[in-house]
Structure 1
C-alpha cells in the first residue's frame, strides 16, 4: 500500500520502517465567520501543527474536517523522504481515492454496508459566535433536497451527529418542555405579538392527556408562525424585547436564557433566531460531556471547543442566526417537535484511560484518551476503519512490532483489524478516535 508516515522500530530511531495501512492525513480547515480568530482557535493551532502552515491571526478558524467528504476532503501523505516530517517532500492523494483503491482497509462489513468510503465525518470545532438555528434532514428528505437543490444540499445522506465538549461548551438543543413553553409564552409578550393571540393561547388549552401529537401540533403551529413572521415586524418586536429586558435589569436579575438572548441579539441584531431561542433548551456541557442529535432535531451551537462526529454528510437546513441561505418552510415542516431536555452522554470507561461515547447510530462512535506520561493503554482491534486526532502532547502508537511517534496536530487513518497501543511520552497525551459504531459489528 505504499509508504506511510515515519515510524521507529523498537524505539531505535536508526531503524525506520512503516506500519502497513496507517496513514498520516492533512486535513481541510473551514474559515466560517463564527470561528475563533487566529491562535485563540484550537482548530487553528492544530491545523498549523497538522499542515505546517502559519495561521493568520485575523482569520477565523472554525472547523477542521477529517474524512472523505468532498466539501472538505482529507489527503493521505506519502512521505518521499523518511525523516522529512512536515517539511519534507510530500505527494498526496485524497483519502477517498486511497480507500477506494484499498477497500480492505475499511473491513468487509463496512464495505458491504456503505461501499468504498468512510461512513462518518470527524470534525473539530472552535466556536466564538452562535451558529445558525438548524436541523439535519433524515435520509429520505436528504435525497429529495439533494435532487431538487444540489447546490444547497450537497449530498443525499442523513446527518445524525454527536458533539463532545473539549472545553465548556454551550448549545441550544431541542424544544423545552410543555411547562417551560407555557412560561415562555406567558413571560415573553413579544412572541404573542408576532404569532397572534389565537395561536399563542393554544399552548394553554392543550395538555398531556391530549397526547403527544396534539401537543406537537400546537408547538409546530406557534413555532412556524414565529419563524415565518415578516422581517420588518420581527426586527421591530425584537427591538422592543431588547429594550424591555434592559429596563428590567434595573429591578431584577435576568435569567440565564434572557442573558443569552441579549447576547444573541448583539451577534445577530433583529434576527428571528434571537427570539426563537426561547423555544429551545439551553445546554451547557462540561468537558467530557456529549450531546447527540438525531435527524430533524433543532439545534445551534453557541460557544466553546468540541469534537464532532456525524454520518458523512454536509446537509444543513437553516432558519435563523445566519447570513446564509434560510429554508424556513423546510425546517419548520421537518422537525419532530419532541419536547424535553436532551440526553447528555458522559461516556463509559473502555480502559482506565479511554472513555467511549456510543450514540444510537451505526455510522460512528467516539473515544477520548487522556494518558499520563509513561502509561500505556490499548484501543482494541475493530472490524472497521478509525481516524485518530492528537490534540495535546506526544506519544507512541504501536501496532504489532512497529511504533509511530505522534504529536499534537497529528491525524491518522487506521485500517480495520488493528489493535493500537498508545504510550504517553509527555506530561499527558490527549487524543480522540472516531470509528464505525461497535454496536454495528455486534449485530448480524
Structure 2
C-alpha cells in the first residue's frame, strides 16, 4: 500500500492550535487535543518515514503506552499500582485509555520512536486493521479499551445510537461549537455500545427496574407515593413519571428530595445501609453532588435503576439508550471508538436532561450479567459474547510455562497484562517482553505465541471475526 506520509516524521510533532481533522473521511473544524494532555515536545520521539514504511511492509507486534484521564471520580491507587506509577499527590486516576480516539490516543512504539495510534491508523490502516475492517469502519480504529477505576459514583448517563450521534454531532458542528466546548454533548459521530468486566467487586446502576418492583418502591416512599397512589405502573405511565421527575423545576426537586434524604439519613443512623442497598448509594451521591441545599435530580435515578454487584470476571453490556452509572470499583472496559456521553445528573460536567431523555430506550426488567464463555479456538481464552460489531473482549489465563497460540485469522488485537510476566513471539522473529500493567498491539493477521514466564492474566480487545 502507499503510506500516508502526512502522519510521519516532523508532522507528528505537537500541531498548531487549530487544524483540519479527519473523522471517518469527513473533514470538520476541530480544536486539537490540548497540549497538556500530550507528551511534552522534549519527550516526543517521532517515528521516521523509513521506519514506518518498513513496518508497513512487514508488520509485527507493538508495545503500547496508554494515557490517563484524571477525572474527579477516579480512585487514587488502582491504576497507579497497575502501571507502576507513583502518585504522591494522590491525584485521581480514573481511566487508562488504550485506543485511538483523538481525545486521548495511546502511543505505540515503532523502532526507537512513538506514534499516536490514531495517526498510525491513518498512515497504515489497511495493514493494521485488515482491508475488510478498514472499509467496514471507515478507516477508523473500531474500539476503545480502558481500565476504569471509580472511587465515587459516575454520572447518570446513556449513549446515543449511530443515527442520534451523527445528527447531534452535525447539529453542534453547524452551531460552531469547538470539540472542547463545555456546551457540547457530542464529541464525535459514533455510537457507543460498551461492556465492562469487573476485576474486583464492582457496583453499578444499569437499566430501569421491573415495572412491578418500581411501582412498589415508589408507592412506599412517602415523598413520591402521591405519584403512584395504587402502587401499580404501566409502561407508559412509568415513562411519563421518570420524564416528569427529571424535568421538575429545582424548587420541586428540593421539595421531594430534601425530606427523602433526611429520612434516609435518620434511618441510616438506626440501621446502617450497605452496598447492596440503593439507599447507601443515594446518601453517598447526595454527599458528593448536592450543593447549597439544592438536591441533584440524578438522585431519583438511584431508585429507578437496577443496582448491580459484579464479582471479578462478571460483566455487563450496555447498548445505546441504556441508562447507567458506575458507582465503585475497577474493571476493564471496551466500547466502540466514541466519547459521546449524555448526562442527567450526579456530575460536575455538563448535564442535558432533554438530550438524555431523547435517547433513552425505556426498557424495564432485570439486567443480564455476562459470564466468560470458553473460546473454542483456544484452550486458554474465554470471551464475552455481545452483539457489538466493533469489539470483543477476551481473557487469557496462563500458568507459568504455558502458551497461547494465536493463528493468523484474527483481527487487530489490543491487550493489557493485569498480572504476571509473559513474552510475545511473532513469525518474523520479533518479540515483546511484557509484565503487569504493560500493553501491546497485534496487527491484523499476524500469528503469534504468548508464553507465560510466570502465571499471567491478560485482557485482549479485538474485532469480532
Confirm or deny a common fold (TM above 0.5).
Answer: yes
Distance 1:110 1:118, change over 3 A: same
Cα distance, 1:179 vs structure 2: 1.2
C-alpha distance in 2 between matches for 1:162 and 1:380: 25
Match of 1:287 among 296, 309, 312: 312
Work out whether 1:100 is the aligned partner of 2:90.
no
Distance 1:202 1:107, change over 3 A: farther
CA deviation profile, 1:99-137 (whole Å, cap 9, x unmatched): 222222211110120132211111110110000000000
Does the 8 Å CA contact 1:109/1:383 hold for their aligned counterparts?
A: no
Work out whether 1:232 is the aligned partner of 2:259.
no
CA deviation profile, 1:298-323 (whole Å, cap 9, x unmatched): 00000111111111100000001111
C-alpha distance in 1 between matches for 2:271 and 2:434: 53
C-alpha distance in 1 between matches for 2:141 and 2:316: 22
Work out whether 1:189 is the aligned partner of 2:226.
no
Does the 8 Å CA contact 1:2/1:78 hold for their aligned counterparts?
A: no
TM-score by length of 2: 0.79
The residue number in structure 1 matching 2:333 is: 308
Q: After superposition, where does 1:313-352 map in structure 2 within 5 Å?
A: 313-350=338-375, 351-352=378-379
The residue number in structure 2 matching 1:29 is: 68
Work out whether 1:164 is the aligned partner of 2:197.
yes
Work out whether 1:138 is the aligned partner of 2:161.
yes
The residue number in structure 1 matching 2:458 is: 431
The residue number in structure 2 matching 1:63 is: 95
Cα distance, 1:20 vs structure 2: 3.3
Cα distance, 1:236 vs structure 2: 4.2
Per the alignment, in what secondary structure is the counterpart of residue 130 of structure 1?
A: coil
Per the alignment, in what secondary structure is the counterpart of residue 223 of structure 2?
A: helix
Work out whether 1:117 is the aligned partner of 2:140.
yes
C-alpha distance in 2 between matches for 1:437 and 1:203: 45
Distance 1:224 1:352, change over 3 A: same
Q: List alignment gaps of at least 5 residues for structure 2.
A: 1-48, 53-57, 174-178
The residue number in structure 2 matching 1:297 is: 322
Distance 1:2 1:172, change over 3 A: farther
Aligned length: 393
TM-score by length of 1: 0.83
Does the 8 Å CA contact 1:226/1:276 hold for their aligned counterparts?
A: no
Per the alignment, in what secondary structure is the counterpart of residue 309 of structure 2?
A: strand
Does the 8 Å CA contact 1:173/1:298 hold for their aligned counterparts?
A: yes
Match of 1:174 among 207, 212, 217: 207
CA deviation profile, 1:175-195 (whole Å, cap 9, x unmatched): 000111111111122234xxx
Does the 8 Å CA contact 2:216/2:232 hold for their aligned counterparts?
A: no
Q: List alignment gaps of at least 5 residues for structure 1.
A: 5-18, 81-90, 207-214, 439-444
CA deviation profile, 1:278-316 (whole Å, cap 9, x unmatched): 000000001001100000110000011111111110000
Work out whether 1:355 is the aligned partner of 2:355.
no
C-alpha distance in 2 between matches for 1:358 and 1:312: 18
Cα distance, 1:3 vs structure 2: 5.9
Does the 8 Å CA contact 1:220/1:332 hold for their aligned counterparts?
A: no
The residue number in structure 1 matching 2:277 is: 256
Cα distance, 1:392 vs structure 2: 1.9
The residue number in structure 1 matching 2:424 is: 397
Kindly indicate whether structure 1 or structure 2 has the higher relative contact order, using CA contacts under 8 Å at least 6 residues apart.
1
C-alpha distance in 2 between matches for 1:279 and 1:403: 51
- Aligned-residue CA RMSD (Å): 2.2
The residue number in structure 2 matching 1:415 is: 443
C-alpha distance in 1 between matches for 2:392 and 2:308: 21
The residue number in structure 2 matching 1:84 is: none
Does the 8 Å CA contact 2:412/2:463 hold for their aligned counterparts?
A: yes
Q: After superposition, where does 1:64-79 map in structure 2 within 5 Å?
A: 64-79=96-111
Match of 1:267 among 258, 273, 288: 288
C-alpha distance in 2 between matches for 1:250 and 1:285: 27
CA deviation profile, 1:354-399 (whole Å, cap 9, x unmatched): 2111211110000111222112222343342110111222111122
Distance 1:190 1:313, change over 3 A: same
Per the alignment, in what secondary structure is the counterpart of residue 169 of structure 2?
A: helix
C-alpha distance in 2 between matches for 1:125 and 1:29: 10
The residue number in structure 2 matching 1:87 is: none
